[in-house]
Structure 1
């Protein structure tokens, strides 16, 4: 009984592991973009211990995030309001006030590259450009990257330019998608070819309507059926092996009993067991011995 119980435990563990792996492969892997922003902030503070105001720094990215690009600059709020800043993919015009008002701000430029679709997506739309992040932080003497802040735009809006746009099968014109800090998605038309306007910090990209994909759904159904067929076949083989093993054991037990009966020579004896060994048991009543010549003894 214990032997079969252990084998059934093994079978259940194998089935659960195969089923869970199939679910993981069939599901869409999700990534937390808020944790990514926090990681960028910690990485910047750790790598740049003594930042200088007005200097742009490129932050190195670990090898498991290859494809992303991060840069940062610290600015004083008053010169920032007068001049703005034009760098990388964005143009922040003058007359933008940080909220809440701080002495120094740090602007973090993020290019998620080929990781964009892992962290951001729009239902029924496909990304055709990398996600660019424009994040503002309070920058004090203690920390380069402090708490997140926002912008109050009193003049022209912020512009985001996308120099690289991926080819897509649809004939639709891309539209701008802004991902706010709270996760809300806002869609708007481009003001110029591959240029979007922004009214605050956040993440920006270009998207087009997605085409219905019958091939992907068919391949997913094929993968699920293939996994189920494999699991059923594997379980069937294990059960067949257990049945054969039980039959072999039963055949050995029958053969052993037959040998025991032959060894007894047809004479019935009581038997007893010592452990797993069966031994004959002789009767305690024995025949009284008889003398051959009683007269001689007398």
Structure 2
């Protein structure tokens, strides 16, 4: 076996565990995987749910901080009465797509793990993320149909109200509060916060309230200093180029004047006409020719 093949095998053996760990972490922090896990876990805890009753579902220590509740309801009851949980109000005349006889809805409060599952550039959550997802409540349906987040959709003319605890903007937080909704397909939607920290959304997903994250003082100062330094650097470069051009022109003028002065000080030559052209000519021969000897042939 060649040395190159050995090197590639060693590299592959080293890299494979890292890729597996990375994939596992990515899956654990995926909100869709969390939704599916919470639904399956709720069904295991509550094997025979009573229609219209809320169940608080305990979780493992790995998910400490997350609170979930579970309800199974007929679609007819959802249409006539809606659903009121402790922090989410689904209004009446809400339709389910595709249509099923009964559905499961899992409500979850992510608590201090909100930023672990969701993040927005240059924004900060001032409330925990609250989510709710609807599933096919038929226990006889296939597991794939029951656990898929995209199988059921909540639709209606009236918006769903998500109520948060009152949170004021603290030091280091900039701008007004905004509602942000994370769709099951990954889309992000912003909306205004209604009084008493209420968000109006259409359809299921995860909802939170965010504000723009203010830059630290040292970053703002560094940005300002960088801008000033850039302006000063451009100015110095401009004046350096201008000074170089002026110095070149001055040196050229000085050289031309020196050449003119030398030409004026040199001996003037007589001129003669050759044909129709006037040309310089020496008036006399400065050095007389001397023969090396007087011998003539």
Quickly name the TM-score band, shorter chain normalised: 0.5 to 0.7
Q: 1:201 maps to which residue?
A: 204
Equivalent residue number for residue 286 of structure 2:
none
Cα shift readout 1:16-69 (whole Å, capped 9, x = no counterpart) = 9xxx9xxx9xxx9x8211111121122112111111111111111101211110
Q: Is the 8 A contact 1:132 1:203 kept in 2?
A: yes
- On the 8 A contact 2:36/2:147 being kept in 1, the answer is no
Is 2:32 aligned against 1:34? yes
* Residue 128 of structure 1: how far off its partner (Å): 0.6
Once the two structures are TM-superposed, the CA of residue 193 in structure 1 deviates from its matched residue by 3.0
What is the 5 A alignment of 1:94-173?
94-142=92-140, 146-148=147-149, 149-154=152-157, 156-165=158-167, 167-169=169-171, 170-173=173-176
Alignment of 1:1-298 (within 5 A): 31-142=29-140, 146-148=147-149, 149-154=152-157, 156-165=158-167, 167-169=169-171, 170-213=173-216
CA contact (8 A) 1:84 1:95 kept: yes
The structure that has the greater radius of gyration is: 2
- Rounded to whole Å, the distance in 2 between the matches of 1:131 and 1:65 is 14
CA distance in 1, matches of 2:117, 2:218: 24
Q: 1:215 Cα shift?
A: 6.7
Following superposition, the deviation at residue 192 of structure 1 comes to 2.1
Gaps of 5+ in 2: 1-13, 220-297
Note the C-alpha offset of 1:165. 2.6
> Residue 176 of structure 2 contacts residue 211 of structure 2 at CA under 8 Å; is this kept in 1?
yes
| Equivalent pairs, count | 193
Q: Deviations over 1:123-178 (max 9, x none)?
A: 11111100000111110143795443111113x21010101536532352210000
